[in-house]
Structure 1
Amino acid sequence: MRPILLKGHERSITYVSFNKDGDLLFTASKDNVPTVWNASTGDRMGTYNGHQGAVWDMDPDAPSERLLTASADATVRLWQVEDGKEIACFKMRGPARGVAWSDGGRSFAVITDPFMDNDACITIFDAPPGAAPESLGQARLEIPLPLEPKLKATNVFFLNLNEALFVTFDDGSFRLYDPVSGELLDTRRPHEKKINRVSFNKEKTMFITSSADCTSKLPVNDAVISPDREHILLGGGQEAMSVTTTSGRAGKFETRFFHLVYEEEFGIVKGHFGPINALAVNPDGRSYASGAEDGYVRLHFYDDSYLNMKDPVPDVEESN
């Protein structure tokens, strides 16, 4: 598996994701400059300039016409994907940690961190395609997050048909909210520590969480589900503060492949010199991208041995 090394960021990577068609790769970093790449060649196609703080999250809409970015500078910005023009800037009351389009792309949700006297909250904005920039900016709904215990949201998603908002937290829990009324619908706590990332399968009928509680025997910063195989990719490694005193081999700075059903590890891909912070699999199932604390994005194209690999089937005892 030969990777293409994408060097366009000056600081550690915070986000990588392919668009729905799989021809574009979007990346973000603590260097304030979201970037878009050609997913086939690794060529940098452009940047989105304007943020004054680290960019934590991005989300392109389904047709890849508009892009949302969430930043520590307490703004969410809406861009035209093709030319990088800023359409609108949404000023938040705290650092914007995550952002997500609704199904249909007519609205989006933002999660913000607490800041000074402002508590953490979930905010929903209407932004239908073709809307005039001056009509944007007014929040439709604000959902305050619990003060006791004081929770910090880490990820936000709309579920199928916008039936609920799926939000994860730093205490290892996730909650479902009604995106119209803001009512809390359900609460679960599958982890003991912060949920770093969440990845859904193509149909959004299944999801995988990655957490700092070392559930998978290493600190897991991101995990993704293959779109066409029953495989899971995990990425993480030793904490960033210890990287300078650890070799890449000891720090476990690699992507690990597991079978979704049998839970068996069957492959490792190395190459990064710091913890992997973000993973994404191309919707066509032929490549994946990893972004790490070392500031590099590695675009990996699967070789024939993987593409032609047949998953093992357990032996079944013959009936008499």
Structure 2
Amino acid sequence: MFSTDKQMGYQCFVSFFDLRDPSQIDSNEPYMKIPCNDSKITSAVWGPLGECIIAGHESGELNQYSAKSGEVLVNVKEHSRQINDIQLSRDMTMFVTASKDNTAKLFDSTTLEHQKTFRTERPVNSAALSPNYDHVVLGGGQEAMDVTTTSTRIGKFEARFFHLAFEEEFGRVKGHFGPINSVAFHPDGKSYSSGGEDGYVRIHYFDPQYFEFEFEA
């Protein structure tokens, strides 16, 4: 599954390929294409059991599409600006979105019901859920076009950690000299990686204190 961009008069489509069918690959013909007329897709992931996809749009909308029929099963709009990233929890029951509206939000994967909101002062480009703890890490910062006129302190280029249930920030990690474009936890939960506009990918290993930390509500 992938989506095309909406540029120069070309429509945005979501294309589905069955990798078990070599003819689809050879002919470059997907078994299904879904047109996106109103707002292009900016991020998409497979939903639980591969029965649907969850797509974020430039308008801030979230759609759940059937992988069999292509119909829109659920539509919600909790973000006011473009959704930059969608990442699932380990058990695929929840997912977190990152948006240009300065927030990341937690949703139920089946119903798309909004659960939690994590607020910052700058656009959020990426967000990831810890596989072991009730933690979410956010990456972002000032818009890339404005970076040259901004110091690293003002630009808010740190990775920021929030408690999943209490929605409160409890830590920041510096290191990048530009906006963070992507964050991801290691599957064992002992480290995370971040990729930035500065061209660097940084792998961060958590200190022992991180695993001993208990959040006080």
Fold shared, TM-score > 0.5 on shorter chain? yes
Shift of 1:261: 0.8
Shift of 1:244: 1.0
Equivalent AA in structure 1 for residue 47 of structure 2: L
8 Å Cα contact 2:17/2:24 also seen in 1: no
* d(CA) in 2 for partners of 1:303, 1:184: 44
Give the secondary structure class of the aligned counterpart of 1:161. helix
The equivalences for 1:1-320 within 5 A come to: 109-128=1-20, 131=22, 135=26, 137-146=28-37, 150-215=38-103, 216-217=119-120, 218-312=122-216, 314=217
CA separation of 1:133 and 1:167: change in aligned 2, threshold 3 A: closer
Shift of 1:134: 6.5
CA offsets, 1:256-308, max 9 Å, x none?
A: 11111111111110010000010000010000000111000110001111122
Equivalent AA in structure 2 for residue 142 of structure 1: K
Equivalent AA in structure 1 for residue 181 of structure 2: N
* d(CA) in 2 for partners of 1:152, 1:140: 20
Equivalent AA in structure 1 for residue 51 of structure 2: E
Give the secondary structure class of the aligned counterpart of 1:126. coil
Give the secondary structure class of the aligned counterpart of 2:170. strand
- Please, which runs of 5 or more residues in structure 2 have no aligned partner? 104-118
> How many pairs align?
201
Instruction: Using CA pairs under 8 Å that are at least 6 residues apart, name the structure with larger relative contact order, 1 or 2.
Output: 1
8 Å Cα contact 1:238/1:251 also seen in 2: yes
Q: Which moved more, 1:275-284 or 1:212-221?
A: 212-221
8 Å Cα contact 1:173/1:190 also seen in 2: yes
CA separation of 1:155 and 1:134: change in aligned 2, threshold 3 A: closer
Equivalent AA in structure 1 for residue 72 of structure 2: L
* d(CA) in 1 for partners of 2:25, 2:158: 46
8 Å Cα contact 1:193/1:212 also seen in 2: yes
Give the secondary structure class of the aligned counterpart of 1:118. coil
CA separation of 1:257 and 1:242: change in aligned 2, threshold 3 A: same
CA separation of 1:285 and 1:190: change in aligned 2, threshold 3 A: same
- Give RMSD over aligned pairs: 1.7
8 Å Cα contact 1:176/1:187 also seen in 2: yes
* d(CA) in 2 for partners of 1:120, 1:207: 23
Identity across aligned pairs (percent)? Answer: 44
Give the secondary structure class of the aligned counterpart of 1:307. helix
* d(CA) in 2 for partners of 1:201, 1:155: 16
* d(CA) in 1 for partners of 2:25, 2:58: 35
2:108 aligns with none
Equivalent AA in structure 2 for residue 280 of structure 1: A
1:41 aligns with none
CA separation of 1:186 and 1:132: change in aligned 2, threshold 3 A: closer
Shift of 1:309: 2.0
